[in-house]
């Protein structure tokens, strides 16, 4: 129970990496704010945490909505009295298309959820972390835009992920004097539902041929990683075991991104 007495916010906690991490943090004693824009998913995550004896509160918000995020964070702090851990995980793949076909509104949607959403999550939570006297922030980026650039049509998505890594490093320095650590996880192929919000369109026009060895993930062949693999990494990064780690990206991909 290494997080006993801590309060955590997890965005995108209705499924996949966010849900797995919310459950894992609660198992280690944290009281968790479970945030998503999908009420049914949020309440299911809360029920799962409570069934295991943990504490959680459901928070409904679109991470790109400034007022909704403020209200959600205020509700979490009002419920538990403090905030110590922030996992800015919410994101979408959005539309994947050649740059001349990708429409401005499609670009904006991906930027708004992935980048504005991360900014708003940090913006509204940092004052509470400062008040607590210390804290830990973890951001979910991707191998795309950080070590992998060959997935066709990902100009908007990869741009947000590269920006999140840059944001992490800047914030790690800015917030160090407040004893707030900031790190970023960069998953590769993970068994989540993120492909459900991917909208590929004519990506063949943007393909650059690449040759792969047998199997796309060197460590596991063609078997993707688990959401819980990411959750365990996040648990480590927000715990005191990582007390001297800040500004660091961690790739969780079985060496996949070293090939592509």
Active site residues: 157
CA atoms of 124 and 255, how far apart (whole Å): 35
Beta strands in 157-226 (DSSP E): 180-187, 198-200
Judge contact between 29 and 89, C-beta under 8 A: no
β-sheet bridge partners, residue 60:
36
Token couple for 151: 């997935």
The count of other CB atoms within 10 Å of the CB of residue 82 is 16
**Contact between 171 and 122 (Cβ < 8 Å):** yes
Nearest-angstrom CA–CA distance, 113 and 175 = 23
Q: Where are the beta strands (DSSP E) in the chain?
A: 7-11, 31-36, 55-60, 85-88, 94-96, 135-140, 180-187, 198-200, 249-252
What is the token pair recorded at 31? Answer: 């009281």
Pairing label, strands 85-88, 7-11: parallel
In degrees and rounded to multiples of 5, residue 224 shows phi and psi of -70, 160
The 8-class DSSP code of residue 221 comes to B
Give the integer Cα–Cα distance in Å for 45 and 17.
Answer: 12
């Amino acid at each position: 129970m290494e997080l006993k007495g801590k309060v955590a916010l997890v965005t995108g906690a209705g499924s996949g990496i966010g849900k797995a991490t919310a459950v894992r943090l609660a198992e280690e004693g944290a009281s968790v704010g479970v945030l998503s824009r999908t009420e049914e998913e949020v309440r299911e995550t809360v029920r799962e945490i409570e069934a295991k004896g943990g504490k959680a509160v459901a928070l409904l918000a679109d991470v790109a909505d400034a007022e909704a995020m403020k209200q959600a964070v205020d509700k979490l702090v009002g419920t538990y009295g403090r905030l110590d851990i922030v996992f800015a995980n919410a994101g979408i793949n959005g539309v994947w298309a050649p740059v001349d076909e990708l429409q401005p509104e499609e670009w904006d949607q991906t930027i708004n959820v992935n980048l504005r959403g991360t900014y708003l999550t940090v913006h509204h939570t940092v004052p509470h972390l400062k008040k607590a006297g210390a804290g830990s922030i973890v951001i979910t980026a991707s191998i795309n835009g950080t070590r992998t650039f060959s997935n066709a049509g990902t100009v908007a998505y990869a741009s947000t992920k590269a920006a999140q890594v840059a944001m992490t490093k800047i914030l790690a320095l800015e917030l160090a004097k407040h004893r707030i650590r900031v790190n970023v996880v960069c998953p590769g192929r993970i068994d989540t539902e993120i492909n459900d919000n991917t909208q590929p369109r004519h990506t063949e026009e943007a393909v650059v041929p690449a040759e792969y060895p047998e199997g796309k993930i060197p460590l596991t062949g063609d078997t993707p990683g688990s959401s819980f693999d990411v959750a365990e990494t996040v648990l480590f990064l927000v715990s005191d075991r990582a007390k001297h780690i800040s500004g660091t990206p961690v790739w969780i991909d079985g060496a996949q991104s070293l090939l592509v």
